[in-house]
Amino acid sequence: MLTMPKPDLALDHLVITCRHLDDGIRYIEQMFDVLIPAGGQHLFMGTHNAVMAVGDGIYLEVIAIDPDLPEPARPRWFGLDTMGDDQPKLAHFVLRTTDMDATLDDLPGDQAEMIGPAMAASRGNLNWRITLNPTGLPPEGGCLPALIEWDGTPPQYSMAFPGPELGKLTLCHPQPERFRENLIRLGASALLNSGILDIALSDQPRLKAEFSHAGQSIIIE
């Protein structure tokens, strides 16, 4: 039986988690001297966010628990339930696919389990499918991506672009070659070859994003 090639993945967005949304908005202002615009609420997750474009088809999301929304029926995404007093941090990244089912097809069991199944979600006139680990935690310390498929044009193409531009996202992990193989298996070969996504050796899993803004190089971790 022939195996159909997987669709090429694109970098969709970076996720910064924070205890309170105002904390995350202040953090972005301190790092870049720009105001990140408010996004909206996610009723099904009990969260709210602020968003801004940081490149062609790429956006930055700052997200926190919304105290005005009821508890969701499942763990919140991106590890928000376990943040405690942690400072705002780059917690996860999301890759975009044009065919979620094809991307998830034939993944090894451990990889499929960590990424999690795709669930349907919506907010206002936005509709999408996104993979969620059942625990709510970003798998492999955030180095294994979530996957998203937008219904229609992704919203970042109409977001404010106040200036900071992503140059490179680096996945830092004790087993970099294994992660390279995992991403290639998902369909991220072209993304890795483009240079915007890189993998490096590190004692602990973590993410590092390098931005250029106002003539400066700014790193967020």
Residue 169 has pLDDT above 50, yes or no: yes
Predicted confidence (pLDDT) per residue in 7-66, tens digit: 999 999 999 999 999 999 999 999 999 999 999 999 999 999 999 999 999 999 999 999
CATH code for the domain defined by 10-162: 3.10.180.10
pLDDT at 3: 58
pLDDT at 4: 62
Question: What's the pTM?
Answer: 0.95
Predicted confidence (pLDDT) per residue in 77-101, tens digit: 999 999 888 899 999 999 999 999 9
Percentage of residues in the chain having pLDDT higher than 90: 89
**1 vs 127 pLDDT, higher one:** 127
pLDDT at 5: 75
26-50: b (≥16 Cβ within 10 Å) or e: bbbeebbeeebeebebbebbbbbbb
Q: What is the mean pLDDT of residues 193-221?
A: 97
> What is each CA distance from 163 to 3, 53, 160, 176, 207, in whole angstroms?
42, 9, 9, 31, 21
Identify residue 130 by its one-letter amino acid code.
Answer: I
Q: What is the mean pLDDT of residues 158-180?
A: 95
- 144 contacts 114 by C-beta, under 8 angstroms: yes
Residues 141 and 80: their CA atoms lie apart, in Å, by: 13
How does DSSP classify residue 204? S
* Mean pLDDT of all residues belonging to the chain: 95
Residues 113 and 134: their CA atoms lie apart, in Å, by: 9
Sheet holding 10-17, edge to edge: 38-42, 47-55, 58-65, 10-17, 89-96, 146-150, 126-131, 118-123
Percentage of residues in the chain having pLDDT higher than 70: 98
Residues 105 and 25: their CA atoms lie apart, in Å, by: 37
pLDDT at 54: 98
- 145 contacts 93 by C-beta, under 8 angstroms: yes
Residues 55 and 23: their CA atoms lie apart, in Å, by: 23
